[in-house]
Amino acid sequence: MATPRQHMALTAALVASIARTIEDAGPSPGAIYLTDAEYDTIVRETLAQAPPGDLWLFGYGSLLWKPGFDYIERRMATVRGWHRSFCIKVARFRGTRDLNGLMMALDRGGQCRGMIFRIPADQAQAVLHTLFRRELVVKPPGTPPRWLTAHTDEGPISALGFVVDRRSKFYSGELSLGEVADTLSMAAGHWGTCAEYLHNTVSHLEELGIHDRNLWRLQALVAERIVHRTTAK
pLDDT score of 233: 64
Torsion sign across C-alpha atoms 122, 123, 124, 125: positive
Q: What are phi and psi of 148, to 5 degrees?
A: -120, 155
CA distance 119 to 141: 23
pLDDT score of 104: 95
Per-residue pLDDT of the chain (233 residues; tens, 9 = 90+): 444 447 999 999 999 999 999 999 988 878 899 999 999 999 999 999 999 999 999 999 999 988 999 999 999 999 999 999 999 999 999 999 999 999 999 999 999 999 999 999 999 999 999 999 999 988 999 999 999 999 999 999 999 999 999 999 999 999 999 999 999 999 999 999 999 999 999 999 999 999 999 999 999 999 999 999 988 76
pLDDT score of 6: 78
Sorted by where each begins, the domain ranges of the chain are 30-174
CATH number of 30-174: 3.10.490.10
pLDDT score of 199: 97
Cβ atoms 87, 107 nearer than 8 A: yes
